[in-house]
Each structure stands twice: as structure tokens, then as C-alpha cells.
A and B are shown apart, each in its own frame.
Chain A
Amino acid sequence: MAAALAGLTLPAVVEELLSEMAAAVQENARIPDEHLSLLKFIFGPSAIQALDLVDRQSITLISSPSGRRVYQVLGSSGKTYTCLASCHYCSCPAFAFSVLRKSDSLLEPRAPSRSKTYSHNSLFQRRTALPT
């Protein structure tokens, strides 16, 4: 995977990483520690929080007959939050604080790193797309 990462942007790297992780889960194999380390390296502490939500099965994919989808996340406080499937948005306070408000997370639209916003959405989509 390291060789494949050369010259790629962060979104492409994230997509490949998550695809490999999803493949491992689908084969009921253990996710390599290298992938988990890379996940934390890319997303920072929010990766651990996101994986914790996945482990607690706190994410629900809601879809309409027309095909429109949205993710509902059950937070540790018992409150549910909405995560849009098509773009980077989550109604949780962490998104508002760490992505929208904190100046060090206010990234340019086409910057190579969009770690905070990606971690909210990408992990959820990979996990809920897998058969249970």
C-alpha cells in the first residue's frame, strides 16, 4: 500500500485505506495494526472516537425508497446526530467545534488534508456498507 500512496491526494489515500479495511472485515479477518495506525495518523484522535462508535454499533443507515440516504449516529450521551452521506456534515457538537469553529481545522476547500471532516463520514459509510 505504501507504494500505491505515492503521488495521491489525501482523499484517495483514505478511500484506499478504508477499502482495504472493509475487505478485511468482510473476510472476517483482523484489521492489520498498520491500517489502524495509519487511520490514527491521518485523522488524529477523532479516528479512535469514530471507531468506538462503529464498535458500539451506534450508526444506523436510513434510506428512503427513492434512494436518498442519511446516517444517524447515537452519541455517548444518548442523543442522536445526523450525518449526511453525500457531503461533509454532522450535527454533533464535535463537528461544530473541531471542524467549523476551530481555526486550525478550518481547512481550505481543496487542501490535501481534510481529516476532521473525513473521519466523520468516511468511516461510517464503510462500516455500514458491510453485511452484518
Chain B
Amino acid sequence: MAETLRRVLNLGTSARSGEEDTAEAGPPLLLLGGPGSGKTALLFAAALEAAGEGRGPVLFLTRRPLQSLPRGTGAALDPLRLQKVRLRTLWAGFPWKDCLRYLKIRFQYPPSTHELLQLLCSAHEARGPAPSLLLLDGLEEYLVEDQGPQDAAYLAALLLDTAAHFSHQTGPGQGCGLIVALQTQEEGVSGDALQVSLLQRYFPAQCWLQAETPGPGQHRLRACLDPGGLGPRAEWCVAFRPNGEMTITPWPTQAGNLSLDKGSSSGGQP
């Protein structure tokens, strides 16, 4: 799923590759960042991107309904419109092509770890076409209830198994991708680092979101994408305007800038 996220991050730049393979799902990707680092916005952008590929629907799992649609280029939507998802009101202020893609995104809100595990374990019983992308926002909220590393490993493995089953259903050459967002704590918190290290064993591809401090009133992040050995690492600058709109530009390249260290005590942060 690194390539899907790479396409999303390249959308705001002129650096789109001429060879964009949308067929293969790629390895599962872990999206890491602190609170308010734009993980949900990027997840939703990846959902829109996958929904526009013309394959299966997108399954978006999160504990709570999104209070507002993360905005890339569209106008604002109030929470009531978002939750009702009425065609008549959805079109207002939202780019037409994004509305059509949004309708292919199925949101589900498992309220607890138990409910999430049940949902994943029974995913093969669900009717309808298999999704082309499985997204989970806020993995840390489901891990809080767990007893230890085995429960975290079980949840991660079950996510992979569910995506693998969907891939089997979609057939060869397509597959179902998996992107999971995990909120990380401040650097140096050992419990968080061990959990991240464990999860990294199941998610070969990772994208780190690090906050930068450009100045007052500005919210900027550095997105570092490591596709897990299947492509080059890359970095982008993700900025959020005061109205919530997200803009993405390539990160200025300097010697020695790319320094993802997955084995560090900080849990692999760059």
C-alpha cells in the first residue's frame, strides 16, 4: 500500500510517476504520527484514491465517526451532512469526482477491541464485493484495552489475515491493500516503542508523520515513506491551512536527510 500512499502524497506535487501501477496491493503499511499529525487526513485521501481506481469498495474502520471530512481541495462539510451522507447535500461544496469516490467508501465504527476482532474474524461472511483497500484509523485506541504484546500481535495479524482473505476473493493481480494508522506518543516512552517495534514486524512498509515548527499559525509535517524494500524512500512536506485544507509538496532533499531507523529505542522514528 506504499504506492497508493505515494500517489496520494504526489498528488499535490508535479512529481507523479509515469508508471503508476494500481493493480498490486503491495505490503501492508503502518502510518505513524503524534496527535494531530494528519494521519486521518492521509488515510481518507488514500481511501479516495483507491475508490477512484475502479476496483472494489474501500472499507474504512474507525472507532468514532469522522466529525468532518478531511479536506484536500474541497470545500467544508458540516458534521451532519457527513453522517447522513445524502446525495443532495453531499454534492454541495464537494468536488464532483470526490463525491463519486466517497460513495465507494464504507465506514464502520467498531466501538471496542472485542467488536473490532469480531468484525475482522467474520469478514469472510460479509456479502457484497470484496474491498480493494482496508483502512483502520486509531489502532492505539484498540490496543489500550489489550493485555500485552500477544494481543497486539493478534490484532495486527488478524488485520493482515483479513486483507489476505479479501485479496484472495478479488483474484490474482488485484488484491486488497491494508493501511493502519497508529498514534505514537512522545519520543522516549518505552512502552510505546516496544509496541511500535512489534507492529513493525507485521507492517513492512511505514510512513512517519513528524511535526515541524515553521512559525505561528502554521501547521506543517514531514512525511517519510519507507515502502519496505520495494522502492525508494521519499519525503514530503504536508501543510494544513487554517481552514483545514491540506497541501503537499516534496521535501527539499539534502544529503543525509533520509534517516529512518526502525531499530532505535524510540520505536523507529526518523
A binds B: yes
The residues of A with any CB-CB pair to B shorter than 8 Å are 64, 66-68, 70, 84-89, 91, 95-96, 100-101, 106-110
Given contact pairs A68-B124, A91-B150, A84 touches B262 in the complex (Cβ within 8 A): no
Contact indicator A87/B124 (Cβ below 8 Å): no
Q: Which of A84, A101, A109 meets B157, CB within 8 Å?
A: A84
Q: Mark B158-172, 1 if CB is under 8 A from A, else 0.
A: 101100110011000
Contact indicator B200/A109 (Cβ below 8 Å): yes
Q: Which residue of B lies closest to A96 (CB)?
A: B150
Given the complex of chains A and B, what is the CA–CA distance between A68 and B154 in angstroms?
17
Contact indicator B229/A67 (Cβ below 8 Å): no
The residues of B with any CB-CB pair to A shorter than 8 Å are 124-125, 148-150, 153-154, 157-158, 160-161, 164-165, 168-169, 197-198, 200-204, 228-229, 262-263
Q: Which residue of A lies closest to B155 (CB)?
A: A89
Q: Which residue of A lies closest to B263 (CB)?
A: A108
Q: A84-B161, A89-B154 are in contact. List 10 more A-B contacts (CB 8 A).
A: A67-B165, A84-B160, A91-B150, A96-B149, A106-B201, A109-B203, A109-B228, A109-B262, A110-B204, A110-B229
Hey, which chain B residues are within 8 Å of A96, CB to CB? 148-150, 153
Q: Which residue of B lies closest to A69 (CB)?
A: B165
Contact indicator B165/A68 (Cβ below 8 Å): yes
Given the complex of chains A and B, what is the CA–CA distance between A67 and B171 in angstroms?
12
Q: Which residue of A lies closest to B167 (CB)?
A: A86
Contact indicator B150/A100 (Cβ below 8 Å): yes
Given the complex of chains A and B, what is the CA–CA distance between A73 and B50 in angstroms?
38
Contact indicator B201/A109 (Cβ below 8 Å): yes
Contact indicator A86/B202 (Cβ below 8 Å): no
Q: Which of A85, A91, A108 meets B161, CB within 8 Å?
A: A85
Contact indicator B169/A91 (Cβ below 8 Å): no
Q: What 4 A-B pairs come out closest when comparing CB atoms? A: A89-B157, A86-B164, A68-B124, A66-B124
Hey, which chain B residues are within 8 Å of A68, CB to CB? 124, 161, 165, 168
